[in-house]
Amino acid sequence: MANSERTEEMQANFQRNGVLQEHLPKVRNQVVGPIEIFRFADGLDITLMILGLLASLVNGACLPVMSLILGEMSDNLISGCLVKTNTTNYRNCTQSQEKLNEDVILLTLYYVGVGVAALVFGYMQISFWVMTAARQTKEIRKQFFHSILAQDISWFDGCDIGELNTRMTDDINKINDGIGDKIALFFQNMSTFSIGLAIGLVKGWKLTLVTLSTCPLIIASAAMFSTIVISLTSKELKAYSKAGAVAEEVLSSIRTVVAFGAQEKEIQRYTQNLKYAKDVGIKKAIASKLSLGAVYFFMNGTYGLAFWYGTSLILHGEPGYTIGTVLAVFFSVIHSSYCIGTAAPNFETFTIARGAAFNIFQVIDKKPAIDNFSTAGYKPECIEGTVEFKNVSFSYPSRPSIKILKGLNLKIKSGETVALVGPNGSGKSTAVQLLQRLYDPDDGFITVDGNDIRTLNVQHYREHIGVVSQEPVLFGTTINNNIKYGREGVTNEEIEKAAKEANAYDFIMEFPNKCNTLVGEKGAQMSGGQKQRIAIARALVRNPKILILDEATSALDMESESVVQAALEKASKGRTTIVVAHRLSTIRSADLIVTMKDGVVVEKGTHAELMAKQGLYYSLAMSQDIKKTDEQMESMAYSTEKNTSSVPLCSMNSIKSDFIDNSEESIQNKETSLPEVSLLKIFKLNKSEWPFVVLGTLASVLNGTIHPIFSIIFAKIITSPDKKIYFFSDV
């Protein structure tokens, strides 16, 4: 037995941990540091991020450099085609055609080189950041899931399982978005902004400052566009998600919906959610396109302002200003302004990721009071199964003011079958949960073979305990795999032996696929008795020294109960068995029956001894005898109904399971061979939307002519011979 000092220290640690304060945080206004969010990056990830960062900076510099090349090419084209004379007239120049060709070819090669660099470094920046984000979020998911499974049950009592699922998906996806290509795009935009602004200030600071006067409008419009799209898209997706949840709920409960004639009501509920999604989608389209239109309006307005002022500078003989200079400065500054506007949403995504990471990392960093994966603790070579509760008091962390156990004292000898009975709330199930060390007592302690269970290694200790609960959980896989969950590395012979001990072997062999039969989601393809016997086999395959049966037959009908009860009696031989019973008829043969009330033992003995005392156990037994006749009549009616069926329930379930297995492939083939729907049919289904489609198409065509018209105007500005700009230009 562990000494008292160690026991007191562990109790103090439990109190210090304060599980009530360790529940999942609800507040999202806290974020992790910009470096801490990358805490799960290894050496390869750091290398990828550095290379991706450098690639982003180089790729961001390509656009301003192309503006410089554009300016140089414009000057060369103009100087090669027009020559300045002493008058305001111009004539074609043919004597420098070779020089012009050489310069244009060289600048074209520069263009190609910059384009190749943009392609290569653009691919590098996105792929490297996406790769490292995927690697890091994979590790975060693993650590998060590991931390969840490591927590003690008291932690789960105070948290929302749905919220855990949301964090596992939504929050980690937000982290993935925030540390992936959005960072690459942010640094690319910042590189374009800084280099473009530097080029503008060096080449022509006056024109740069004038052009920058409208940039706040462009930045605000671009930021507004991105913000609106992100915000309303999120609302739209949530609305469709809610509508999808309604559809899933209705379809999963279609029999109930049809039985109550609620089809129209559910259609209206689904339509309401779709209407909200449609309204949000319309708002997003209007608001985002208005803000995008504002971006183009201010950009084109800036074109006019920059060309006007640039022309004025040339006409007034400002040194260093040429057509090429004006173009280089203008496009560098415009691109810089637009990039700083589009960088804001990327930075916002990173901030959102930091907020999501705060919640995720808080769960990962939480140290449970009972660590399921801890390697610490004593590992006895052999466990006999002698259990003793010594003055155990306990209240659930979620209800600390309500004492469930109030000084429980009980000793169970190795190999005994002990039944715990009593009214609801007496502490029966709580006692066996403490024995499993799902919780630790507030006061007192529990020993197994003289060792305080808090000093034992948690995993090693639980390997010697088998549990069959009232509602066993089967996983959506085969019977064989469900039994294998009981112990890692179990052989087929051991599975067969456990199935026989659990009285499950015979009905399993009746299935066409035998042990490879799918049990369905949560065991839906099995009857209650079949599920319970599979659960018993799963517990027995561990060969546990302590077997806990927590109301294992209370949810079954009388006929299934008798079959399962026979399996339980067979399973309890040769091991310490603790039975929490509701139906007292199932525990009459127990070696010791313990009656509990208000968290303490009020009487104990054999069935005959307790009946002779005429105490609490006697009262419970007599109250159940009154109901016995009714239950027997119900059981007889059930048996009669069952016997009239030509196919046993297990066979029906087997046929259903086998049908599902064999038909999956044919269903998939049917789905893949569905006929294609013509575009005309889709248009017919949306006949009411035709006016909007026509107007939208016309608007798209007109909007598409803007850039060609701009190119014509742009060419006229540069080449119109009746302008004096070339006379004063330095080309």
Q: What is the 3-state secondary structure (H, E, C) of 115-142?
A: HHHHHHHHHHHHHHHHHHHHHHHHHHHH
On whether the CB atoms of residues 269 and 182 are closer than 8 A, the answer is no
On whether the CB atoms of residues 456 and 379 are closer than 8 A, the answer is yes
DSSP sequence for 338-372: HHHHHHHHHHHHHHHHHHHHHHHHHHHH---SS-T
Strand-pairing partners, residue 412, are 387
At 561 the pLDDT is 67
Of 351, 60, 347, 352, residue with least CA distance to 186: 347
Terminal-to-terminal C-alpha distance of the chain: 97
At 731 the pLDDT is 45
Give CA–CA dist 380/90, Å, rounded: 103
Long-range contacts of 240-247 (CB under 8 A, 24+ apart): 240/273, 240/274, 240/277, 242/273, 243/270, 243/273, 243/274, 243/277, 246/270, 246/273
Please state the pTM of the whole predicted model: 0.70
- Fold classification of 20-365 (topology level): ABC transporter transmembrane region fold (1.20.1560)
Give CA–CA dist 331/327, Å, rounded: 6
At 702 the pLDDT is 87
Q: Which residue type does 92 have?
A: N
* Lowest model confidence (mean pLDDT) among 8-17, 228-237, 624-633: 8-17
Among 19-28, 194-203, 207-216, 483-492, top mean pLDDT goes to: 194-203
Mean per-residue pLDDT, 513-521: 83
Residue 27 has pLDDT above 50, yes or no: no
Q: How confident is the model at residue 718 (pLDDT cuts 50, 70, 90)?
A: low
Q: Which residues, at least 6 apart from 450, have a Cβ–Cβ distance to it below 8 Å?
A: 1, 386
Q: Which residues, at least 6 apart from 152, have a Cβ–Cβ distance to it below 8 Å?
A: 19, 368, 369, 370, 371, 372, 438, 439
At 673 the pLDDT is 56
Mean per-residue pLDDT, 632-657: 43
At 56 the pLDDT is 94
Q: Classify 440 as helix, strand or coil.
A: coil
At 81 the pLDDT is 56
- The percentage of residues in the chain with a pLDDT greater than 90, rounded to a whole number, is 13
Mean pLDDT of the chain, nearest integer = 78
Burial of 196 (0-12, 13-18, 19+ CB in 10 A): buried
Residue 89 has pLDDT above 60, yes or no: no
567-622, pLDDT tens digit by residue?
A: 777 777 778 888 888 777 778 888 889 998 888 889 988 888 888 888 888 888 88
On whether the CB atoms of residues 39 and 180 are closer than 8 A, the answer is no
At 218 the pLDDT is 75
Residue the block writes with tokens 């055609």: 97
Mean per-residue pLDDT, 171-180: 89
Max intra-chain CA distance, the chain: 133
Q: Give the pair of three-digit tokens for residue 415.
A: 């190999």
